[in-house]
Amino acid sequence: MNTHETSENGPILSLEKVSKAFGGVQAVRDVSFAVERGRIHAVIGPNGAGKTTLFNLVTGVYTPDAGRIVFKGRPIAGVPVHALVALGMGRTFQNVELFSGMSVLENVLVGRHCRTKAGFWGAVLKPASVRDEEGSARSFALSMLDFVGMAHAAERRAGDLPFGWQRMCEIARALAGEPELLLLDEPAAGLNASETRELASLILKIRDLGVTVLLVEHDMSLTMEISDRIAVLDQGALLAIGAPREIQADQRVIAAYLGA
C-alpha cells in the first residue's frame, strides 16, 4: 500500500528548534529531533508535557512560534492540514474522533477522500469512472478494516461501538489515506490490557507495511516494548532521546519521570 521511497534516505520528519506557547504556558520549548523512515518512534512524557501540542504542530493544526518542521524534505509552514494528509501524513486523536453518526465503513471511506477524486457532477451523474473509483475505495476501506480486525463492524454506526473498537476504526481511517507517516496520539489510552496487546502487534504490523509510526504515550510499558527510538518530553522541552534501553537507564529521565 505504501510507496516506500528507498531513494530518499533523509529523515521523513524533522523538527528544528520548535516552540509553541499558549498565553503564559510554554507548551513546547525548543524541541529538535528527527524521525527515520520505517521505524516506530515514540514521544513520551507526563500529562501536560506538550505531546499533543507537538502533534498538532507536526500535523499543521498549530503554527510554531519559532522553529521549523520539515516533512519529506518540505517545510510544512503554510501547508493546510488537509494538504499534509495528501502528502502522506495520517493521524489519530487522543480522544478518538470518529464521525459518530456514520457507519464504520463510511468513516474509513472519508479517510480515503484524499486518494479519490469524484466531485459534484461525478456524484450526480455517476459515470463508470466514478462507480469504479467508489468500488475500489470501498474494497480498499474494507481491506483496512480487515487489517485492524474490524471488518465485522463495517456496517455498524461508529458512535455505537465500544471504545476499543472505535480506536481501531480510527486507525483504519488514517491508514485509508495511505500515510507514509502515521501519528498516533496516546493510542493505548482507555484500552484494557488485552486490547493494548492487540494494539502493540497492530502497530508492529503497520511498521512492517513500511509506514513510519510516530506515537505519543503517557504510559511507558507499550512504548518501551515496541519503539525503535524514544524522545522524552518534560514541561515542553526535550529531556532525552535514544533507544528504549538508553532511556530506561537515563538518570535524568528516571529522576523527572520514571521516579515520579
* Binding region for ligand ADP (CB under 6 A): 22, 25, 27, 45, 47-53
Residue nearer to ligand ADP on the CB measure, 53 or 212: 53
Question: Is the C-alpha dihedral spanning 231, 233, 236, 237 positive or negative?
Answer: negative
Q: Which of 52, 56, 107, 227 binds Mg ion (CB under 5 A)?
A: 52
Q: What stretch of H or E contains 197? A: helix 193-208
Of the two residues 165 and 257, which places its CB atom closer to ligand ADP in the complex? 257
Distance (Å, whole) CA 254 – CA 179: 34
Binding to Mg ion (CB under 5 A) within 53-72 occurs at none
Residues that bind another protein in the complex, under the rule CB under 8 A:
59, 61, 80-83, 85-86, 90-91, 93, 97-103, 105-107, 109-111, 113-114, 116-120, 122-124, 126, 130, 133-134, 137, 155, 173-174, 176-177
Q: Which helix (H) or strand (E) holds 223?
A: helix 220-226
Q: How far apart are the first and last CA of the chain?
A: 42
Closest listed residue to residue 110, CA positions, set 93, 90, 131, 126: 90
CA distances 151 to 96, 159, 225, Å, are: 18, 16, 27
Q: Which is nearer to Mg ion, 26 or 94 (CB)?
A: 94
Q: How far apart are CA 209 and CA 231, in angstroms?
A: 23
Nearest approach, Cβ of 157 to another protein (angstroms)?
9
Q: Which is nearer to ligand ADP, 145 or 233 (CB)?
A: 233
CB of 110 to another protein, least distance (A): 5
Residues in CB range of 22: below 8 A, 6 or more apart: 53
Q: Which partner, Mg ion, ligand ADP, another protein, none, binds residue 61 by CB below 5 to 8 Å per kind?
A: another protein
Side-chain half-sphere exposure of 10, counting CA atoms within 13 A:
10
Q: Which of residues 66-125 bind Mg ion (CB under 5 A)?
A: 94
Q: Which does 144 bind (CB under 5 to 8 A by kind): another protein, ligand ADP, Mg ion, none?
A: none
Distances, alpha carbon 41 to alpha carbons 44, 82, 214, in Å? 10, 23, 5
Q: Which is nearer to ligand ADP, 27 or 104 (CB)?
A: 27
Residue 50 partner contact from another protein, Mg ion, ligand ADP, none using kind-dependent CB cut-offs of 5 to 8 Å: ligand ADP
Q: Interface residues with Mg ion (CB under 5 A)?
A: 51-52, 94
